[in-house]
Structure 1
Amino acid sequence: MTPDKNGITERLLVYTIFVSLYVQSVGKGAVFVYKVGYTIKKGGFMQIALRWRSLALQYLVVLLTMMSLASCGGATKNMAIAIPAINTHEDKSAQTDVSSLPRSIAVLPFINRTDEDAAFEVVRRTIFNHFASKNYRSLHWKDVDRRLKAADLYATDKLDAAKVGDLASTLGVDGLLYGEITHYDKHFFVLYGQVAVGVRLRLIDRNGKEIWSGEDIVRTHAGGISTTPIGLIMNVISAAYHTRDINLFRAADELGREMMPNIPEPARLKGALPPQIKQVVHDGIGRVLHYGDTLAVAMEGEPGKRGFVRIDGFKTIDLVEEQPGFYTAKYNIAPGDNIDGAAVVGVLSDDSGIQNEWICPIGLLAIDNKAPEAPSGIHSQTVQHGLKLNWDIAEEQDVVAYEVMVSDHAQGPFAKLAGSKDNHYTDSSAKSFANRYYRIVAIDHAGNRGESSTVSGGVLADARLASAMELPETLPAVIEGIAVLRSGRKYNLSGDSSLPATSILLIEPGVIINAGSSGSLKVFGELQSFGSKENPIRINGGKQALVLSSEHPVKLQGVIVDGAAIAITVTAGAPEIMDSTLMNNRYSAMEISGVSRPLISGSRLEGATSGGVLIMGKAQPRFKRTSFKEMKPFHIQSMSPYRIDARGNSWYPAPSASTIMGDVDYFGGTGATR
C-alpha cells in the first residue's frame, strides 16, 4: 500500500478501524491499531508504519477523551489501556573476561543533563532494582548517598569532577555505574499520559576501564484506571504523586528491563535462579503516616512463592498472594511506630530458600507518632493592631504549624483562636487592659500535637506603660519623667501635685485618687487616662481636682470626678474629655478660660451649686453628646466673644435664657427649645 499525497487514505483507514473497534470493544481497538503499525514496521514498510503509529496515537487521545467523558468518574477493567513502549536502544560492551569483572558495584546518583526539573531519583532507584538482579554485590543506594555526603561528593559538580578510583575507595566497591538523564519530555491529556525518558549508563571498574555503556530512550503511554492489586495502590499514590511522576517510574522500569540484559555480569554458580520480581509499591508515598493510618503494600512477581516486605530499621510484614503473581498486605500503624525515610523492600523466596529483593523506587516510608515539644520562649507584646505573641522556633524540623487557643481565665476553657505557620501570631481581637490567657501547641506534618505552653497578656493602650515609673501611694509635689498610676491601686492627693511640661502621666483603668478637700493635680505636661465605662478612673473630692494648663496632648477617658469644689479647670491647650462624669460638684463642674479649646464628648455633668460650666476669656469649648442635669443656677454661662457650639446635647431642665447665658448654640439637643 502506498500512501496518497495528503495521507487521506491512511487517515480514513485508521479512523475506520478505530470507530469499528471502539463500538465492539473500547480498549482493544486502540491497542490493535497501534500494533498494526508495529507489525508493519517489523515487516519492512518503515514509512507507512511510522505514520500509522503516529496516527494511532493521535486518535488514541481522542478515544481516551471520549472514554473519560463517558465514564463520568467511573471506571471498569475495560478502561485500562497499556501500550507497548517505544524505545531506541544502543549499547556497547568491551571484550571483557567475566572472571575479571568487579564484584561489588555502587549505582551513583544520576546526573540530569536536561533542562527539566523532575523526580529523576525515581529513575536511579528503579535502575538500581534491575541492576540488583545481576550477579554483583550492589551497595544500597541509601548507603551510597550517605557516604558521598559524608565525603562532600554528593553535589553534581563534585561527582562529575571526582576520580573513579577515589569514588570507588570512598564507597568501598570495585566498580561504579554512572547514569545520566539525557532526554525528557511529557504530554498529558485528561486520563492520557505520555512520558519519554532517555538515559546513558556506563559501568566502570575502579581503574577507570569502561566495561559496558548503553543509551536508551523509552516513551510510555498510559491511561485509564487499573484494578490489579499493584494498580489499585498506584491509583491511590497518584493523588500524592503527580501523574508525570508515576509515568516517569513506568518509563524507568521499561528502561531497566531493556538495558539490563545487555550488561555483562560475573558467572553464576550453577543452580536455580532467584524468583523474579516486577514491582513493589506502597501507599505511604507522599505522606507521613501515624497512629490510626493503614499502610498498604503490594508486590508483583513470580507466582506461587513466599513473599514479604522488609521495612528497613522497622519490621518485616508477610504478604499474601491475593491473585497469581500479586502479593499484598495491610499494616495498621501502632502508637509507638516511628521511622523516618525507610526503604520498603519486597522479598520473594522459593521453596529452597533462594530469595530476590526489590526496593520500592517511588518513595520512602515515614511513620511519625512522636509529638513535638511544647513551644518555648513564649511572650506577648502590644503592637499597633493588637497583642502579638512570639515564641521560639521549634527544634523539630517536622513542625509545620502552631495552634493558638485563648481564654479569659487561667484555667480555661480554651477555644481555638487561629492557626499559624510562623512562630508568631497577632490577636487583633484583644482589648486594652483586658488580660487574656493563650496556649500555643506545635503540630508536626503527621498531625501529632505536642504539649501546650501558656502565656497571659493584655494590650497596652500605650507602649510607654510597659516602662513607666509607678508613683508612690501619696502623689509627690512634682511628678517627673514618664510616670504611671497602676490599675486597681489607690492614691492620695492631699495638696497640690504638679506635672511639668517635660513630664508624662499615664493613668490605667480602675485607679482611685482620694483628693480630700484641698487636693489638686495641675497638668502642664502630657496626661493620658485609660478609664472605661466598665472600669473607670475615680477622683474623689478635691479643691480644683484637675487643672489642665498644657499645650501637650491631654486625654481624659472614663474619668469620674465626684464631690470636688470645681471638677475640671481648663486654662490652655485643647484637651479631650470623653465618656467622663463630673458629679456632685460643690461649686462648678467646669471653668474654662484663656484661649483653650477643649472638647467635651459623651460625658455627663450633673449637680452644681454655682453654675455648670463657666466660660471666660477667649475660650472656645465644644460640647458633643453630653448631658447637663441639675446645674444651678445655669447650665452654661459664656463670656467668650466666640459663639459656643453646644448642639446635640441633652438638658434637664430644658435650656432657656435663664439656664443658657451668652452666645451659645444649643439647638438640636434633647429637651432643647429654640
Structure 2
Amino acid sequence: MYIHISSLPFRDLEIFDTDTRLKNAGLEDTEAINRMIAQNPQKLKSILGVDAVVTGEVTHFDQIFIGVYSQIAVGCKVNMWDLNTGNLLWRARHVNRAHAGGISSNPVGLLMAAVAAVWNLRGTEMLSQTDDVFREIASTIELPESALAMQASLPKIDLFACINSGKPFTAGQPVSLRLIGDRDCKAYVDLGEFKSAIPLRPLSSDMKTAVRAEVMHSIQEQYRKSGHELTQDLMRAIEREMASREIYEGVYTVAPGEQMYGLMSKAYLVNSSGSQVTAMDPVHIIDIDARPPNTVTGLTSLSLDQRVDLTWDQNIEEDLAGYEVWMGPSPLSGYALAVALEKNAAVIDQLENFEPAFVKVRAFDTAGNRGGYSRFTKIVSLPEPNLNDLPRPGPSLGGAVVASALLTKDRSPYTVQSDLVVKPGATLHIAPGVEILFLPGTMLAISGGNIAVYGRKNQLVRFSPVSANNTPGSWGGVLLKNSGHAVFEYALIENAETGLTIINSQPLITHTTITGASQAGLHLQDNARPSITCSVLSANQGQGGMVVEGEGIAPVIRNTSFVNNNPFEVQSYAPIELDLTNNYWGVESPGADKFLGQILWEPWLQSPPKRCGE
C-alpha cells in the first residue's frame, strides 16, 4: 500500500520513520493508535508531523489448493483520517481473487512469472495479487487535474526483487538486486536506512540475451509439461513485451563489520522528465551480518584418563550459534576441527595418555561468521587428575621415595645410583617412553607404596642395566612387597637377577616382557596374586621363567607366552595346583618336561596370542 500511496503527488513519511516515531511515543499497539485518532488526533499529528494518516485492515490473505491449481485471495480495507479534525477523508475496500497453477494467456503475466521462476523468486503470485489490490484502492483517491497529468507521465516498474536472499549476507558477499521496467531510465535502490542510492544499471547485451533465452525456455517448458499449445502469436507478443522493457541490475558488496537485520529494499525508477516511481520488495527481506563474534577467552583444561575437559568464557552475542574446537600436534600449525558444539564446554576423548596436543577455540554465529581463535592451550590426557602437578625428579635416582612423583620422557634416561624404594603413601608414576637404567647391585623396590607404569605399544617403559654389555643379572630387578596399587602396561624388564618378585601384592600386568634374568623371570612368594595378560617371559635362566613358592598364592595368568626359559618354563613349590591354562608355551605341542610341580597347563595356545586386547 505504501508504494502506491507514496507514488501519489503528496509528501509522505517513510515507513521506517513512521515506525520509529510511533515506537518512541510508546504507540506499538494498533488499538492504542486507533484510540488516539478518535480521541486526540492532533497529538498523533504532533508525533508524526503529518496532516493525515492512512490506516487499514487485511480482510483476505490466503491460498486454497485444489490439485495442481490454487485460488489466491487478497483483500484490504483502508481509511484516511484528517489529523487536524479527526474526520474521515476517504475510505476504500477491495478483494482480488486469482487462479494460480494454470497457464496464463496474458503475455505480461507469462513473462513475469517466467522471470520469477528463472530468478528463483518466491511468493511472487501472492505479491502480485497484493500489488493489484493496493493499486486498485489507491486509484480511487481523487486527485486534481494537474496531479493526474503528473501520474500519467510516471515510469512503470513491472518487477523488483533481491534475487539471492535467504540467509544473512556476510563480508564480501554480493546483495544482487534486479528491476524490470521502462527503458531509458535511471534506477537505484535503498536498503532501508542502512544504505541508500545503490545504482542499478541496464544489463549488458550478452547478459540480457542469456536472460531472454532462459525466460523463453522456461515458458516453453511450462507449456510443454501442461500439454497446452504455445502459439506463434503469443510467442511474438512475449518477445515484444521483453523488448519494450529494460532489466536493471545492481550489487551491494557487504563490508566487514556491517550488521543489519530485516532490511526491506526499495527501488526508484526515474525517467528523463524527472518523474519517479518506487517499488518495494517485502518478500525477500535482506539480513546483513558481517560482524563476527568476539574472540573466545578464558580457555582452560582438565586432564582425565584418555580425555581432556575444556571450558571457556561464554560469548554474549545475540546471534551466537556455537563454537568450534580445533586441535593440532604443535602450537602454531597442523590444527584440524575436533568438534563443533553449542555450549562453552567440550570433551576431547579417545586420546593417548601423556601425548601432548594443542587446542584453540573460536565462536561462530547464525550467519556463519567465525570469530578469532582463542589463545592456544596445551592439553595432555592423564590416567589420574593433576598428575602433571607432581614433582619430577631425576635424571639421577636413588633412596626412599616418600611422596608421589612422576618420571617423564623428556628427562629420560634415568639412572638409579642406589636402591630406589617407594614407601607407603607414595606413588611412582612412569610415563610412556621412559627408560630407567640401574647400576650393578641396585634395584627398584615398591615397599608398601604404589607404582603405575603407563607404557604404550610404541613407547615401552624400559627397566634395564646401565652397563654397556647388558648381560643377564646386571642389576637386582623389581620387587613388589606389600604394595598397594601396582600397574605395569607395556613394560620391558631385562637382564636383571630376578625380573619381578611379588610378595603380598596384587599387581595388574599387561603387555609386559620379562627377559634375560639370571635367576628367574618372575618370582611369586607368599600372598602373591598377580593378574597377568598378553605378556611374555622369555630367555630367563637360573630357575626359569616363573618360580612359585609360599602360601596364599593365586595368580591369574592368561594369553601369555613362556618361551625358551631354562631349565623350566614354570616351577611350583606351592601346596596347590596352579591353573595356567590358555597360555603359549613356546611350541605347538608342549610336554610335561617344561613344568615342575602341580601345574595345570592344558588346554594351551598353539601359537602366540594375536591382537591380545590391542
Alignment correspondent of 2:211? none
Q: 1:403–1:420: 8 Å Cα contact kept in structure 2? A: yes
Q: Distance in 2 between matches of 1:475 and 1:187?
A: 90
For structure 2, the residue ranges without an aligned partner over 5 or more in a row are: 209-241, 466-474, 609-614
CA separation in 1, counterparts of 2:426 and 2:571?
Answer: 33
Which amino acid is 1:317 matched to? P
Alignment match, 1:518: 442
SS, match of residue 129 in structure 1: helix
Indicate how the Cα distance of structure 1 residues 333 and 396 shifts in structure 2: closer, same or farther if over 3 A, else same: farther
Residues of 1 paired with 2:555 and 2:364: CA distance?
58
1:631 is paired with a residue whose SS is: coil
Paired positions, count: 538
Q: Secondary structure at the match of 2:502?
A: strand
Whether the aligned pair in 1 keeps the contact of 2:198 and 2:250 (CA below 8 Å) is no
In 2, the alpha carbon distance for the partners of 1:196 and 1:476 equals 95
Matches within 5 A, 1:560-571: 560-571=492-503
Question: Would you say the 8 A contact 2:504–2:526 is kept in 1?
Answer: yes
Distance in 1, matches of 2:401 and 2:321, equals: 55
Residue 499 of structure 1: how far off its partner (Å): 4.3
Matching residue of 2:166 = 286
Q: 1:426 to 1:251 in 2, by over 3 A?
A: farther
Aligned pair partner of 1:354 in 252, 272, 275? 275
> What whole-Å deviation, never above 9, does each CA across 1:433-489 have from its counterpart, x for those lacking one?
333345656666666666655736555142514564224334673434x65333433
1:142 aligned residue (3, 12, 16): 16
- Letter of the structure 2 residue corresponding to residue 145 of structure 1: D
Cα deviation, 1:277-322, whole Å, max 9, x if unaligned, reads 4542220332344688665544355x45514022341543234397
CA contact (8 A) 2:422 2:449 kept: no
Give me the whole-angstrom Cα distance separating, in 2, the residues matched to 1:554 and 1:229: 84
1:275 alignment counterpart: 155
The Cα shift of 1:254 comes to 3.0
Q: Whole-Å Cα distance in 1 between the matches of residues 166 and 607 of structure 2? A: 74
Change (3 A) 1:416 1:315: farther
> What residue number does 1:638 align with?
572
Matched residues in 2 for 1:484 and 1:330: separation? Answer: 70
- Residues 175 and 253 in structure 2, CA contact (< 8 A), matched pair in contact too: no
Q: Which residue of 1 aligns with 2:516?
A: 584
| Cα distance in 1, alignment partners of residues 444 and 17 from structure 2 | 83
Distance 1:626 1:198, change over 3 A: same
Asked if the contact 2:331/2:376 (under 8 Å) is kept, the reply is: no
Q: Specify whether residues 362 and 270 from structure 1 end up closer, same or farther in structure 2 by C-alpha distance, changes over 3 A only.
A: closer
Structure 1 residues 533-557: Cα deviation after superposition (integer angstroms, max 9, x where no partner): 211223345645241534x553221
1:603 pairs with one of 516, 520, 535:
535
One-letter amino acid matched to 2:16: K
Counterpart selection for 1:462 from 378, 383, 389? 383
- What displacement does 1:367 show? 5.5
Aligned: 1:479 with 2:402: yes
Paired letter, 1:609: G
The answer to whether the Cα contact below 8 Å between 1:348 and 1:357 also exists between their aligned partners in 2 is: yes
Change (3 A) 1:157 1:634: farther
Residue matched to 2:223: none
Change (3 A) 1:671 1:403: closer
Instruction: Give, in whole Å, the separation in 2 of the partners of 1:531 and 1:162.
Output: 82
Cα offsets for 1:31-70 (capped at 9, x unmatched): xxxxxxxxxxxxxxxxxxxxxxxxxxxxxxxxxxxxxxxx
Aligned residue for 1:659?
594
Give, in whole Å, the separation in 2 of the partners of 1:153 and 1:572: 85
| In structure 2, distance between residues paired with 1:639 and 1:208 | 119
Task: State how far apart, in whole Å, the 2-side matches of 1:540 and 1:284 are.
Answer: 71
| 2:54 corresponds to 1:177 | yes
Q: Distance in 2 between matches of 1:445 and 1:596?
A: 62
**Counterpart among 121, 128, 133 of residue 250 in structure 1:** 128
Partner of 1:129: 3
Distance between the aligned counterparts of 1:438 and 1:190, measured in 2?
56
Separation in 1, partners of 2:185, 2:7: 18
Identical aligned pairs, as a percentage? 24
**Could you tell me which of 524, 528, 535 is aligned with 2:452?**
528
Of residues 314, 317, 339, the one that matches 2:199 is 317
> Retained in 2: the 8 A contact 1:440–1:453?
yes
Partner amino acid for 1:581?
A: T
CA distance, structure 2, for counterparts of residue 400 and residue 225 of structure 1: 44
- Aligned match of 1:559: 491
Instruction: Report the CA distance between 1:589 and its aligned residue.
Output: 2.4
Letter in 2 for 1:128: Y
Matched, 1:364 2:282: no
Matched, 1:306 2:185: yes
1:345 to 256, 266, 274: 266
> Deviations for 1:243-283, whole angstroms, at most 9, x for unmatched residues?
xx444423422331232234567997685224354542220
Offset of residue 168 of structure 1: 5.0
- Which piece of structure 1 moves more, 632-641 or 148-157? 148-157
CA contact (8 A) 2:407 2:430 kept: yes
Which residue among 605, 611, 614 is the counterpart of 1:669?
A: 605
**1:598/1:246 CA distance change after superposition, 3 Å:** farther
Q: Relative to 1, partners in 2 of residues 1:315 and 1:260: Cα closer, same or farther, differing over 3 Å?
A: closer
Match of 1:617 in 2: 551
CA contact (8 A) 1:488 1:512 kept: no
SS in 1 for 2:385: helix
What letter corresponds to residue 662 of structure 1 in structure 2? Answer: G
Q: Deviations over 1:379-423 (max 9, x none)?
A: 555567745555556666666576665544555455565655666
DSSP 3-state at the match of 1:143? helix
Is 1:488–2:410 an aligned residue pair? yes
Corresponding position of 1:259:
137
Are the counterparts in 2 of residues 288 and 446 from structure 1 also a CA contact under 8 Å? yes
- Normalising by the residue count of structure 1, what TM-score does the alignment of the two structures yield? 0.67
Q: 1:112 aligns to what? A: none
Whether the 8 Å CA contact 1:298–1:327 is kept in 2: the answer is no
Q: Residue 488 of structure 1 aligns to a residue in which SS?
A: helix
The residue number in structure 2 matching 1:56 is none
Q: Within 2, Cα distance between the matches of 1:364 and 1:661?
A: 89
The question of 1:234 aligning with 2:116 is answered yes
For residue 328 of structure 1, what is the aligned residue in structure 2? Answer: 247
Deviates more, 1:131-140 or 1:367-376: 367-376
Q: What one-letter code is carried by the residue in structure 2 that aligns with 1:257?
A: R
Distance 2:401 2:31 in 1: 74
Name the CA distance, whole Å, in 2 between partners of 1:612 and 1:510.
Answer: 25
In the aligned structure 1, how far is the partner of 2:141 from the partner of 2:486?
A: 90
Residues 578 and 602 of structure 1 are in contact (CA less than 8 Å); yes or no, is this contact kept in structure 2? yes
Report if the CA contact (8 A) 1:279-1:299 is conserved. yes
Q: CA 1:520–1:404 in 2, change beyond 3 Å: closer, same or farther?
A: closer
> Contact conserved, 2:176 with 2:252, CA < 8 A, in 1?
no
Residue of structure 1 equivalent to 2:471: none
Which residue does 1:7 correspond to in 2? none
Report if aligned partners of 1:511, 1:536 keep a CA contact under 8 Å in 2: yes
Q: Counterparts of 2:373 and 2:594 in 1: how far apart (Å)?
A: 64
CA pair 206-378 structure 1, distance change in 2 beyond 3 A: farther
**Distance in 1 separating the partners of 2:343 and 2:115:** 35
CA contact (8 A) 1:507 1:528 kept: yes
Counterparts of residues 204-243 of structure 1 (less than 5 Å): 204-206=81-83, 209=86, 211=88, 212-223=90-101, 230-232=112-114, 234-235=116-117, 238=120, 241=122
Cα 1:437–1:300, aligned 2, differ >3 Å: closer, same or farther?
same
| Cα 1:147/1:651, change in 2 over 3 Å | farther
Letter in 2 for 1:536: L
3-state secondary structure, aligned to 2:410: coil
Asked whether the equivalents of residues 298 and 326 of structure 1 are also in contact (C-alpha less than 8 Å), the reply is no
